[in-house]
Amino acid sequence: MNFKSQNPFLNNKSFSATTASRKEQVHNATIIDYNQEMTLSGTVSKTLLLFLLLTASAMVIWWMTFNGMNPLVPAIGGAIVGLILVVISAFKPQYSPYLAPGYALFEGLFIGGISAIFETMYPGIVIQAVGATFVTFIVCLGLYKYRIVKVTEQFKSVVVAATLAIATYYLISWVFSMFTSFQPVHYGNSMMSIGISVFVIIIAALNLFLDFDRIEKGAEQKMPKYMEWYGAMGLMITLVWLYIEFLRLLSKLSSKN
């Protein structure tokens, strides 16, 4: 089975469709403008820009929270708008140069608000989660770059299947907890709950390898320039997921002390 990255921004439909059109364009063109092709360096620079925008937005909410503002409202609003921008870009990747910066800014509101809430409950937890996310990203990037971990079709199948299982479990748990007194096993700070958080973090980290692979393949296939924004935005989605899961795990560990 040919599974691709579960990340909606790095899925096979957008990349394969763009690749097909790009190959036809290259075949028929007499002069090719290589400045309009996706590159690794361009994707890296756009990822850094999105990260800076997200961080700046998060810091604004962080500062406002510790000056008396309720962070829940901007956090929820940022999450909703960010999700809308994700859905639009998933169907219209050519708009990514405009939607990706907006996603970073609104997702920053969500990250800043959630981080402030966790920091209030467990002082010092945010810097730990940021550090853990950064270290995980660097380690995964190194393992991928030096081909210590190879993204094979079997690897993709396992990671995507696990990601789908996690998403399904979270969705079912959320629905049941909304309408019944059911309490999902990943709530609380039991050993089972901590184990689930560790498993989810591992799967989120493995998704980084799939993201790296799709970005690299996109550059090799000479996709259009706007796919740099598309790829950068997808990578940011995975990093945000990883950071949130680290926050959840660290909060469970802190509450046991």
pLDDT reported for residue 3: 38
Tracing tokens 């609003």 back to the chain, one arrives at 77
The tens digit of pLDDT for each residue in 161-184 reads 999 999 999 888 888 877 777 777
How many residues comprise the chain?
257
- Mapped onto helix, strand or coil, the DSSP state of residue 246 is helix
The CA dihedral of 9, 13, 17, 20, to the nearest 10 degrees, is: 110
Q: What is the CA radius of gyration of the chain?
A: 19
Q: What is the pTM of this model?
A: 0.86
Residue pair 1/155 in contact by the 8 Å Cβ criterion: no
Closest CA to 54 of 119, 102, 89: 102
**Which range among 3-7, 31-35, 116-120, 172-176 shows the weakest confidence by mean pLDDT?**
3-7
Over pLDDT 70: what percentage of the chain? 86
Residue 30, pLDDT above cutoff 50: no
Residue 4, pLDDT above cutoff 50: no
pLDDT reported for residue 34: 52
pLDDT reported for residue 15: 59
Query: How many other C-beta atoms are found inside a 10 Å radius of the C-beta of residue 12?
Result: 13
Between the alpha carbon of residue 236 and those of residues 15, 83, 178, 242, 256, the distances in Å are 17, 13, 29, 10, 31
Cα 46 from Cα 101, distance rounded (Å): 9
pLDDT reported for residue 16: 53
Confidence of residue 5 (pLDDT cuts 50, 70, 90): very low
